[in-house]
């Protein structure tokens, strides 16, 4: 079945340098900055910056969006050519080549900044749709004489633990470790302690090349490090312990300030 109700985890890249894209032979720079692959705020959205570069190059009715099939779609009301002088930008968007004489170009791969488990999330530390559980940084002292208690509070932090159960292993880890798998998202986002946001109830359709509708996100989050180095645990789902078919993914995380 190609249509699923799922969560999308959209990651970011910080301190991205200005990167060139060539459209109809015109070289335009995607401005340097801190970007999520997509964000409702254009100043934080890499796709919005690509769309601005397309418009500056004279591409008619330029559009750079995420399609329902998880891939980046660049389109116009007329034909245009596309080339990638900077392979980093091509990599982040999931493209492997340019093109000539088309009105739209769909990326060959899912962006490494996007992961979809093809299932909805379980939020373990708060109700669904809420950011998380707020923990106050309170230092308490208790008098050894009469039990008088005093508290000094230094801010707070909001924690969450997302779980995704019975995820098809093709979305977690295969021998090729290709874009769209959790191992790639972890390499590019999670292990880098990069900011990411979770979009709920996304109508994903692997056969659709139309723009996806994304609501208001939860986040930004970063992975919460326990002891040792940041890492994730490979876990077969219950009932599939002896076969490679379904996996559970757990992501402990906490809210951090937004890019400024």
Domain residue limits, the chain: 3-114
For the chain, report the end-to-end CA distance as a whole number of angstroms: 41
Taking 80 as the threshold, does the pLDDT of residue 129 lie above it?
yes
Tokens of 154: 């230094």
Confidence of residue 126 (pLDDT cuts 50, 70, 90): very high
The whole-number pLDDT of residue 54 equals 98
CB 197 within 8 A of CB 115: no
Model confidence over 165-199: pLDDT tens digits? 999 999 999 999 999 999 999 999 999 999 999 99
Distance CA(107)–CA(67), nearest Å, equals 10
The percentage of residues in the chain with a pLDDT greater than 70, rounded to a whole number, is: 100
Taking 90 as the threshold, does the pLDDT of residue 244 lie above it?
yes
CA distances from 146 to 138, 150, 152 (A): 21, 12, 19
pTM: 0.94
Taking 70 as the threshold, does the pLDDT of residue 1 lie above it?
no
The whole-number pLDDT of residue 104 equals 98
The whole-number pLDDT of residue 139 equals 85
The whole-number pLDDT of residue 210 equals 95
4-27 burial: b if 16+ Cβ within 10 Å, else e: eebbbbbbbbeebeebebbbbeee
Q: CB burial class (10 A; 0-12, 13-18, 19+) of residue 92? A: buried
Average pLDDT on 225-254 reads 95
Taking 80 as the threshold, does the pLDDT of residue 236 lie above it?
yes
Model confidence over 32-91: pLDDT tens digits? 999 999 999 999 999 999 999 999 999 999 999 999 999 999 999 999 999 999 999 999
Using CA atoms of 73, 75, 81, 87 in order, give the dihedral in degrees to the nearest 10: -30
Taking 70 as the threshold, does the pLDDT of residue 16 lie above it?
yes
CB 182 within 8 A of CB 135: no
Confidence of residue 242 (pLDDT cuts 50, 70, 90): very high
Confidence of residue 140 (pLDDT cuts 50, 70, 90): confident
Model confidence over 198-220: pLDDT tens digits? 999 999 999 999 999 999 999 99
Confidence of residue 110 (pLDDT cuts 50, 70, 90): very high
What sign does the CA torsion over 117, 122, 124, 130 have?
positive
């Amino acid at each position: 079945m190609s249509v699923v109700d799922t969560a999308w985890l959209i990651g970011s890249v910080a301190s991205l340098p200005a990167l060139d894209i060539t459209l109809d032979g015109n070289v335009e720079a995607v401005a340097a900055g801190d970007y999520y692959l997509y964000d409702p705020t254009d100043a934080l959205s890499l796709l919005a910056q690509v769309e601005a570069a397309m418009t500056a190059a004279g591409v008619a009715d330029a559009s750079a969006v995420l399609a329902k099939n998880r891939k980046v779609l660049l389109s116009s009301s007329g034909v245009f050519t596309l080339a990638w002088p900077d392979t980093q930008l091509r990599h982040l968007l999931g493209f492997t080549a340019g093109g000539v004489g088309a009105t739209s170009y769909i990326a060959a791969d899912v962006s490494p900044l996007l992961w979809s488990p093809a299932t909805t999330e379980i939020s373990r530390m708060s109700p669904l749709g809420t950011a998380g559980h707020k923990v106050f940084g309170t230092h308490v002292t208790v008098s050894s004489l009469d039990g008088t208690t005093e508290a000094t509070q230094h801010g707070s932090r909001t924690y969450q633990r997302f779980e995704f159960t019975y995820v098809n292993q093709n979305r977690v880890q295969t021998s090729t470790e290709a874009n769209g798998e959790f191992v790639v998202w972890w390499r590019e986002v999670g292990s880098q302690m990069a900011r990411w946001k979770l979009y709920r109830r996304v109508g994903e359709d692997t056969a659709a090349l139309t723009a996806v509708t994304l609501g208001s996100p939860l986040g930004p989050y970063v992975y919460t490090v326990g002891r040792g180095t940041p890492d994730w645990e490979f876990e077969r789902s219950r009932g599939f312990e002896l076969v490679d078919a379904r996996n559970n993914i757990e992501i402990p995380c906490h809210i951090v300030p937004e890019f400024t």
